[in-house]
Chains A and B, each alone.
Chain A
Amino acid sequence: MSQTPDHDEADPADEALFAELKAMIGHIDPVPAGVEVAARAAFAWRTIDAELAALTHDTLLEGDRLVSAVRHGGTPRLLTFEGTTLSVEVEAVEVGQRRRLVGQLVPPQAAEIEIAHRGGEKRVDADEMGRFAADDLVPGPVRVRCLTRGTGGQTFQTPWIVV
């Protein structure tokens, strides 16, 4: 192990108490087994062929807004992802216990869209105007991949975002 805990205040009584705390946490709040399984399975989402777009705007992270629109039913959360030649604007909407994404490719163009989410992978088409929508997504991390159809069709994907 390259990193070890720093015990610069090694009072034996402190360390005994700390060891008891650690055992307690091990009993009552371990990493849930299902969550760890999902983290191992996350490796399957590795892709090496796609350009990673940057999240350049997210209304959730704006200024001092404290209340998320998505969770509280106000204006929808808007996100912008930019790549070198393609951008996508996405609106995330809460629909009951599910999420809906409405997207716009810039510049507008047809494309195949793959949306990865907890429930699997959903494929939809972006029309000639670059518009697409996907319903019934499971809340949690999502990622949008775009496969454009023009000459030299390219693949572009967003980072994972929790909606």
Chain B
Amino acid sequence: MDADGDLVRRAGQGQQSAWDALVARYGSRVWAVARAFRLSQADAEDVFQTTWLHLVTHLDGIRDPERIGAWLATTARNECLCALRRAGRQVPTGDDADLEISDVAEPEVDAGVLASERDAQLWEAVGRLSGSCQRLLRALLADPAPSYVEVSAALGMPIGSIGPRRARCLQYLRTSLVGITGST
């Protein structure tokens, strides 16, 4: 697989295939950031599109092309904060790790896609978690998985806190699942 830095440099030289490879590699992660901020479908789509447009604009000026994942995560975060302001929602300042974003639109989920009973149970259990757990897990649930550096950039959370918080949130989730299913 091509290194991130090579893809950024080749895209900067005008190579569409390198650009497409970046979108394929990081698309799920950028989308996960937008969803982690619990944006509506329309706002999440604006964040996604605008993040990639910013990268197009700045392709030649990326200081550290190997860290393009963190650059995209930071850019997506900033766009999410703008989207929250446009929607008239409270916007965090500083470390928002413990912020509960209130008055949010749940991502709309079509009941038809929760065809599997297990998916439905998991979805319900996630919905019972705190806002900060939901946000962290959603940011982590991208494919390919984001690095903790990227998650830290996306959520404004210290890198060292991500592993322990992830473990705690999964523990809460397991407890919640027991309440829903009677077993994990």
- List A residues at the B interface (Cβ < 8 Å): 1-6, 8-9, 11, 13-14, 17-18, 20-22, 24-32, 35-36, 38-40, 42-43, 45-46, 48, 52, 60-61, 65-68, 70-72, 140-141, 143, 159-160, 162
Contact = CB atoms under 8 A, between A and B. Distances in A.
A5 B173 CA distance: 20
Interface of B: 1, 3-5, 11, 14, 16, 19-20, 23, 27-28, 31, 35, 41, 45-46, 48-50, 52-54, 56-57, 59-60, 66, 69, 79, 82-83, 85-91, 107, 109-110, 113-114, 116, 118-119, 122-123, 126, 137-138, 140-141, 143-150, 162-164, 166-167, 170-171, 173-174, 184
A27 B116 contact: yes
Contacts of A30: 28, 31
B52 A39 contact: yes
Given A28-B119, A140-B49, A141-B46, A66 B141 contact: no
Contacts of A29: 31, 35, 107, 109
Nearest to A7: B163
B49 A141 contact: yes
